[in-house]
Every structure is written in structure tokens, then in C-alpha cells.
Amino acid sequence: MKIVSDIREMQQLAGHYRQQGKTIGFVPTMGYLHEGHLSLMRRARPQCDILVVSIFVNPTQFGPNEDFERYPRDFDRDERLCREVGVDVVFYPTADAMYPQPYLTYVHVEKLSETMCGASRPGHFRGVTTVVTKLFNIVQPHIAVFGQKDYQQSLIIRQMVRDLNFDVQIDVAPIVREVDGLAMSSRNKYLSSEERQQALVLYRSLTRAEELIREGERNVDTLLQAMKTVISEAPDARIDYIAIVDAETLEPLSTVRHNTVIALAVYIGTTRLIDNTWIREKDGKLVGQLVSPRQ
């Protein structure tokens, strides 16, 4: 496994692989890898000849009062995990290299970036789309794998790829969860043992919404109230947003239908967590991803 920090070296290496006719798969991460990240790498591995993983805590997607400085980092552990899943190249640039001063160029996807997490974290998605554009130009992948846990991000990236004519296939992999349902996240590290238990209200609220939908409920206001009731069971929980939206446009819905996403962001103490489920029609019924339909 190669570890590359220099941008030009990574570009030359990617160009060499392409000249050899090799397919490059890419998984961008901010490090502090967990099973969710590793599942993306395992998903990419059979689809490519060369698997590249980037590890870069991107400063431009953090707000001024967010957790950039304390975001967990452990490159030695990340390197070992990458080796174990068969990564060929780890791209590990510095912030100074990625954003040489003065840095004046950004990429922004309108509309999709302005709701949900975009409303709560102004400028966040501008940082995401800018760094992903740069990484695509550096790594030159044929396929890139993102996770559904960051549903809005994956939708924005797909839109950007279409709009800017990137020759990259975007693959979105399912959410990976702990055995009790909590979506895996590097930020779970921030939770105390008590907060870790309270964090399960995100999963339970989504599960409750799915149950109601299977029972025939379609009214969004009713579903939102049921989810809020579940979340209120956690004393340290504070809702940032709950959104029930069209899966392609992120437009708010009044009635649940095929291709609906239910997404939420909730603070447990000072830690902001996100989760979602995707509601689709199957065999004439609306079903989600979290709970099996009743027999």
C-alpha cells in the first residue's frame, strides 16, 4: 500500500494507472475510520483495479464554532485498517497543500445545499463540494463510493457530477449500524455512556415513523409529531431538524409517497448526529429500510 501526501505525485500516479488501463475506485474520508467507512472500501474493492482512500479533515466544511480542531484523528490506526481491507493508495494531504493561500475558488450546488444540514450549517456543503471536486481532479477516479448516512451530501455530489460533467460513477452504499441501531459515525466517540444510550432515539424515531407508514399513515405532520415524541424521551436530546422530503429534490412533502426520505439531525448533549431512512414502494406497499414489514 502506498501512502501519498503530495498532490502532484498523486495526480501522476493516477495518470499512470489510467494509462495502464486500470480502473480507479475512490473512497473519500476524514479519517478516524470505523466499520461504516470500511464497508465503503469493501464495496469499492471488487469494482476497481486500484482502490484509493483519501484521509483529509477538510477545514472548509466546518463552521467557525464547530469541531474542526477536536475532530478525532488517528492516522496510524487508519493506515492499518486500510491495509486490512486491501486499499492500494492512501492519499493524505495537508490543509496547506489543498488550500494554498490566497485560496479563492469554491464550488456550490444551489438549492440542494440550502436546506436541512445546509440550513443548519451555512457553507458546509460549499466546503464539501469544493474538496470533492479537488479530490476528483487529483485522484481521477472512475468510481467513487459515498455512504447513505450523509444522504443529502450524496445527492449533492451526484448533482455536481452531472452538472459539471465529471466522468465519475457515484455509488451510494447503505448505512452501517451498531447492533442496537445507532448509525456508525466518527462523532459517536464524543458521546458519554449515558449519551450513547440516549442517542438511540434517532433510530427509534425513524423506526416509529416506518411502523406508522406500514400501518397506513401518510400525513407528514402526524409522523413528525410521533418522531418528536420519541426523541423527547432522551433528556439531553435537542432536535436540529426533522425533514420528510422528496428523495430527488429534497422538497418538503405533506404526504408520504414512493421515494420519500425521512432525515433528522439531533444534538445529544453537544454532539450533533444525523440519520435517515428511505421510503419506497415494494409490492404495492410503502416500506422503509429499518424494520422488516409485518408478516
Strands 143-147 and 169-173, sheet pairing = parallel
Q: Which three cell numbers mark 238?
A: 435537542
Conformational region of residue 136, where left means phi above 0, alpha means psi within -120 to 50, and beta covers everything else: alpha
Query: Do the Cβ atoms of 89 and 15 come closer than 8 Å?
Result: no
Query: What's the sign of the alpha-carbon dihedral 7, 162, 29, 111?
Result: positive
Please confirm, yes or no, whether 108 is among the known catalytic residues.
Answer: no
Query: Do the Cβ atoms of 57 and 31 come closer than 8 Å?
Result: yes
What number of H helices and E strands is found in the chain?
Answer: 10, 10
In the three-class reduction of DSSP (H, G, I as helix; E, B as strand; rest coil), residue 102 is classed as: coil
Q: What share of the chain is helix, strand, coil (3-state, %, to 5)?
A: 40, 25, 35
Q: Which three cell numbers mark 57?
A: 479533515
The catalytic position among 37, 108, 142, 258 is 37
Sequence-separated (6 or more) residues with CB below 8 Å from residue 32: 71, 72, 73, 74, 77, 78, 186, 189
DSSP annotation of 255? B
Residues annotated catalytic, as ranges: 37
